[in-house]
Structure 1
Amino acid sequence: MVDWALAVRVGSRLAGEGPVVDPAVARTAVAELRAGAARSTALVAEFTGLRTPDDGPPVLVVDRQGWVQANADGFATVMEPLVARLAERRGAPGAVAQAVGSRVTGTEVGVMLGFLGSKVLGQYDPFHEPGGRLLLVAPNIVHVEREIGAKPADFRLWVCLHEETHRVQFTAVPWLRGHLFDQVRALGESVDSGTLRDLLGGDGLKRLGDTLRGTGSGAGIVDLVSTPAQREVLDRVTAVMSLLEGHADVVMDGVGPGVIPSVGAIRASFDKRRGGVGALDRLLRRLLGLDAKMAQYRDGAAFVRGVVDRVGMERFNAVWERPEHLPTRAELADPDAWVARVL
């Protein structure tokens, strides 16, 4: 279905190398990112009360091409149930159709990876076997710290606090990885042959136009081709991702003032930058659902702060006890409802 090797080549070419950096500066950046990730583990654990084993998932400092390759590998794993489902329903394509189709989709995936590969600062990959891994994209971190005029050592530790929180979340909560993968599998199993036709019929084109103009829901193309059953799964995925992203933002803002002197200026400059800079950048963000991603940070952080303000961090941590304790999408906007249901 997807020519992954082509996707990696296209994505790597589009992502580019990143900023020109003196080799000594590059070595310093890599060393500080590794040290920042190691230092962040204890800081996150102390703030959140979440405990992780000493032999946790690895931390990798990568370039843009390394991030593209890692995410192509991850997408291939995540999409396996979907590919199997479509193959079962459609049957095996002819050799020519398969060759052409896989190159088309490989190019499309490559374009997406290339755009994201020039933006992402760090990412926890929960689907990498055996237990996930943390990726820190050094060229992008250096690029952003230069763009916003941040003190490099402070900005690098600030990024590490956010990304290390994700590593702690998945390591301290063993069921979380399997739960997220189950949701992805459920999404793949719900696919039917009419999904793409729905986009081109009825009000599908209108909704696509709304997305391009920025007047739609902001959820991106994925939301447009979703059936009601798939949207239920997407709502669950959105809720858990909003929790994870918001929790990480709360942690970095809670820990930051004590260890990062310039954290206030970094947060102000970074939030201003999150909206995208140019027209093409904003268009691609809408298509890929990155506007919804930004909402995840805001909604999730507001939920975490709302619950912690009411009951404290220790009782908030009941959210990690079992899947049934995760907030629903509606509860993200109503922390009192979650407290009433779970606590």
Structure 2
Amino acid sequence: MSDNPFGFGLPPEEPENGDEGKEKGKGNQGGPANPFGFGGGAGGADNPFAAMFGSLNPNDLGAAFQQLGQMLSYEGGPVNWDMAKQIARQTVAQGTADGTRDESVGPAERAAVEEAVRLADLWLDGVTSLPSGASTAVAWSRAEWVEATQPAWKELVDPVAERVGAAMGGVLPEEMQAMAGPLIGMMRSMGGAMFGQQIGQAVGVLAGEVVGSTDIGLPLGPAGKAALLPLNIEAFGKDLGVPKDEVRLYLALREAAHHRLFAHVPWLRSHLFGAVEGYARGIKVDTAKLEDAVGQLDVSNPEQLQEALQQGMFQPEDTPEQKAALARLETALALVEGWVDAVVHEAAKPRLTSADALRETLRRRRASGGPAEQTFATLIGLQLRPRRLRDASRLWASLTDARGVDGRDGLWEHPDMLPTASDLDDPDGFVHHEQLDFSELDKMLGEAASRKDGPTDEPGAKGEDGKDDDSKGDDGK
């Protein structure tokens, strides 16, 4: 995981042979080609605004400067989401690395997705006590995924960006802030643009890889709407040697299982998103570096602005608060993914000959640094650990064997009942401990039920024979 999860302030690589500015296609080489010092990536290798401005030929200059003016006059929240959506959509339009371009979903694919989700829900009924959470099933193009998931990205990213934006606006003494109002406003606009560019690029790349609305373990799409991306599913199964229908059905099982969990565990979504907010509250921006940079900033000198940004003055520090929040989020996501992995395997194993192969393919995809890890590392500094996923899956499977489906799923009733990070290190110990705890609980509930039907323990209460229950022993004392 990078020490700079947002990719801001990364210095450009030194050009080879001292031929500055002439090397092309090698990340951020040739500093002036990247005026804001962002990390490179799909859709804007040398110029982060290339996705908006195109090749910057003379015919495009008017539109380019108009868009630049709109960017600098932005007065919205901490992230310029209009820019983010525009860059994400244009990144999608450029196609993936293998040359696959986005396309509209036809009626046949939509019908196939609806049928796969319907069948998946039917299979899941036998392996979980949680009822269906998907009221509709939809097939999305990549662009439709970008549009549908933007509200969730706002909820995830805005708290983080807000803290950085506040630091940018508060670096000057209060008595100077009124005089420097235009500069502060420009800095905030630039901050919103920086986040918008980075997030738009990350979401656009992710749209070319995800197969549904829950790939990263969070409910990114609308509630109750199970979604699959046929174009990405085809790319996912291309070299697996598995029939396309089986690939689609297995992925539909995972999508439907996620929706059951998020629909019927009401506290789960806020718990996960709250961990992200907790991370944002722990952000400590290096205000000393920021003050120094702002104090020496000449806004008429683009090269100086570029150099200041490259020095990393917006880089959040790695604080104990952030580490604790990310640990909570990582554990919760591992439990979600582990539960889905366990119930989907239980549903698919007796019905799909490719169940084991597809399960292992998805696990390896996660282990090799799939889209979820890359996007979280970019946006909030989180990298899911595959070991946690496997441990969580084994724990849920052991709980199923020990307590049955109802007992396993009952742990989702309250966050305090869930396994912790240390429990994932010793799944068998947690299962054994839970068995003892629930045996004691059953005993207590049985005793409470017998007292309800028989004499009570309250002083002065009447038993079934009408006598006081205060009498103790055979001697009436």
Report if TM-score (shorter chain) is over 0.5. yes
Q: 1:5-20 to 2 correspondence within 5 Å?
A: 5-15=82-92, 16-17=94-95, 19=100
Could you tell me which residue of structure 2 aligns to residue 46 of structure 1?
126
Give how far 1:319 is off: 1.5
Give how far 1:162 is off: 0.8
Confirm or deny that 1:239 pairs with 2:239. no
SS of alignment partner, residue 38 of structure 1: helix
Could you tell me which residue of structure 2 aligns to residue 204 of structure 1?
none
Instruction: State the distance in 2 between where 1:37 and 1:285 align.
Output: 26
Confirm or deny that 1:95 pairs with 2:185. yes
Q: 1:65 aligns with which of 134, 140, 143?
A: 143
Instruction: State the distance in 2 between where 1:5 and 1:140 align.
Output: 25
Confirm or deny that 1:259 pairs with 2:351. yes
Instruction: State the distance in 2 between where 1:290 and 1:233 align.
Output: 10
Instruction: State the distance in 2 between where 1:20 and 1:83 align.
Output: 31
Q: 1:1-343 to 2 correspondence within 5 Å?
A: 1-15=78-92, 16-17=94-95, 19=100, 26-52=106-132, 56=134, 58-86=136-164, 91=169, 94-124=184-214, 126=219, 131=223, 133-194=225-286, 225-272=317-364, 274-276=366-368, 288=378, 292=384, 294-339=386-431, 340=433, 343=438
RMSD: 3.6
SS of alignment partner, residue 31 of structure 1: helix
1:1-56 deviations in whole A, cap 9, x for unaligned? 32222222222333444647998x95333221222112222322320121247xx5
AA aligned to 2:118 is A
Give how far 1:254 is off: 1.0
Contact 1:8 1:68 in 2 (8 A): yes
SS of alignment partner, residue 89 of structure 2: helix
Instruction: State the distance in 2 between where 1:4 and 1:114 align.
Output: 13
Instruction: State the distance in 2 between where 1:265 and 1:84 align.
Output: 43
AA aligned to 2:201 is V
Gaps of 5+ in 1: 198-223
1:47-76 deviations in whole A, cap 9, x for unaligned? 0121247xx554432111222233333121
SS of alignment partner, residue 167 of structure 1: helix
Using the size of structure 2 for normalisation, the TM-score is 0.57
Could you say if the C-alpha distance between residues 296 and 277 of structure 1 is closer, same or farther in structure 2, counting changes exceeding 3 Å? Answer: closer
AA aligned to 1:6 is M
Contact 2:149 2:221 in 1 (8 A): no
Instruction: State the distance in 1 between where 2:201 and 2:390 align.
Output: 27
Q: Percent identity?
A: 25
AA aligned to 1:126 is P
AA aligned to 1:48 is T
Paired residues in the alignment total 311
Give how far 1:96 is off: 2.1
Contact 2:79 2:161 in 1 (8 A): no
Instruction: State the distance in 2 between where 1:277 and 1:86 align.
Output: 27
Instruction: State the distance in 2 between where 1:58 and 1:196 align.
Output: 52
Bigger Rg, structure 1 or 2:
2
Larger RCO (CA under 8 A, 6+ residues apart) = 1
Instruction: State the distance in 2 between where 1:330 and 1:96 align.
Output: 47
Give how far 1:277 is off: 9.6
Instruction: State the distance in 1 between where 2:273 and 2:79 align.
Output: 20
Contact 2:113 2:138 in 1 (8 A): no
Give how far 1:285 is off: 7.8
Could you say if the C-alpha distance between residues 57 and 90 of structure 1 is closer, same or farther in structure 2, counting changes exceeding 3 Å? Answer: farther
Could you say if the C-alpha distance between residues 20 and 237 of structure 1 is closer, same or farther in structure 2, counting changes exceeding 3 Å? Answer: closer
Instruction: State the distance in 2 between where 1:118 and 1:135 align.
Output: 15
SS of alignment partner, residue 60 of structure 1: strand
Using the size of structure 1 for normalisation, the TM-score is 0.76
SS of alignment partner, residue 134 of structure 1: strand
1:113-133 deviations in whole A, cap 9, x for unaligned? 12222221112353666x464
SS of alignment partner, residue 174 of structure 1: coil
